[in-house]
């Protein structure tokens, strides 16, 4: 089979991470969790006391950051310098902040360079918000995975049991609004993406559907 670079975009809670891992296991590929990179910037911005609209501060922060994704026995981990911050970037606060900082030009420019450097290798699956539209417009295969707000909220609620379902749904609705209405790289399918609605499909079925298309 031809060595491919595959992108999977879609809104929060659509199942991109789980499906990417399933698809990667079937293909023998590696998954690049681009959302972790944005969360990493958000975490460091929060630690530095920066506001998400402080473009000057964010540009200065990014110029001194050294974020990298590594493969370990525990899976893919995110390092900031030599510190593993993987478990610190999955809080609701950092989730919302990452959506805000991801719209800032300095952050996108910094992470665009990192992602494209990683993408020089084939046999990779990139999942995120604008992988097929901005980061890799020439990707070999592009998917856009979506689902209703109700379905996505419930999936995220199962991951974050410390939050009431109503709060998870409200946070996701707000994030959807931020992601789709931002001026820079809004969330939308690439014109040549294969769109898959996972409302009535298990994530395993979605992965199999993608695999069939690839083959």
Residue 143: per-residue pLDDT: 98
Residue 182: per-residue pLDDT: 72
Candidates 157, 151, 127, 149; CA nearest to 139 is 127
Candidates 123, 122, 153, 119; CA nearest to 37 is 119
Give the model confidence (pLDDT) of 71-86 as tens digits. Answer: 888 788 999 999 999 9
pLDDT of residue 97 exceeding 80: yes
As a whole number, mean pLDDT of residues 17-31 equals: 93
CA 200 → CA 147, 148, 156, distances in Å?
Answer: 9, 10, 17
Give the model confidence (pLDDT) of 138-189 as tens digits. Answer: 999 999 999 999 999 988 888 766 778 888 888 888 888 877 777 677 789 9
Residue 33: per-residue pLDDT: 83
Residue 107: per-residue pLDDT: 94
As a whole number, mean pLDDT of residues 16-39 equals: 92
Give CA 187 to chain center in angstroms. 11
Residue 42: per-residue pLDDT: 96
Interatomic CA distance for residues 122 and 124, integer angstroms: 5
Name the CATH code of domain 5-214 (choices 3.30.70.1450, 3.40.50.300, 3.20.20.70, 3.20.20.140): 3.40.50.300
Residue 197: per-residue pLDDT: 94
* 24-28, 54-58, 182-186: segment of lowest average pLDDT: 182-186
CA 141 → CA 7, 127, 144, distances in Å?
Answer: 6, 12, 10
């Amino acid at each position: 089979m031809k060595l491919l670079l595959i992108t999977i975009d879609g809104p929060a809670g659509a199942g991109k991470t789980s499906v990417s891992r399933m698809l990667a296991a079937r293909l023998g590929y590696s998954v690049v969790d681009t959302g972790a990179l944005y969360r990493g910037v958000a975490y460091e911005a929060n630690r530095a006391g920066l506001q998400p609209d402080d473009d000057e501060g964010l540009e200065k922060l990014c110029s001194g950051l050294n974020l990298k994704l590594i493969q370990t026995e525990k899976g893919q981990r995110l390092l900031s310098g030599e510190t593993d911050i993987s478990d610190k970037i999955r809080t609701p606060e950092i989730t919302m902040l990452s959506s805000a900082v991801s719209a800032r030009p300095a952050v996108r420019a910094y992470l665009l360079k990192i992602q494209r450097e990683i993408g020089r290798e084939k046999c990779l699956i990139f999942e995120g918000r604008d992988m097929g539209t901005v980061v890799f417009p020439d990707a070999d295969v592009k998917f856009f995975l979506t689902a209703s707000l109700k379905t996505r909220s419930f999936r995220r609620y199962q991951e974050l049991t410390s939050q009431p379902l109503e709060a998870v749904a409200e946070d996701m609705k707000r994030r959807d609004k931020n992601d789709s209405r931002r001026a820079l790289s809004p969330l939308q399918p690439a014109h040549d993406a294969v769109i898959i609605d996972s409302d009535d499909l298990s994530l395993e079925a979605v992965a199999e559907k993608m695999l069939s298309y690839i083959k």
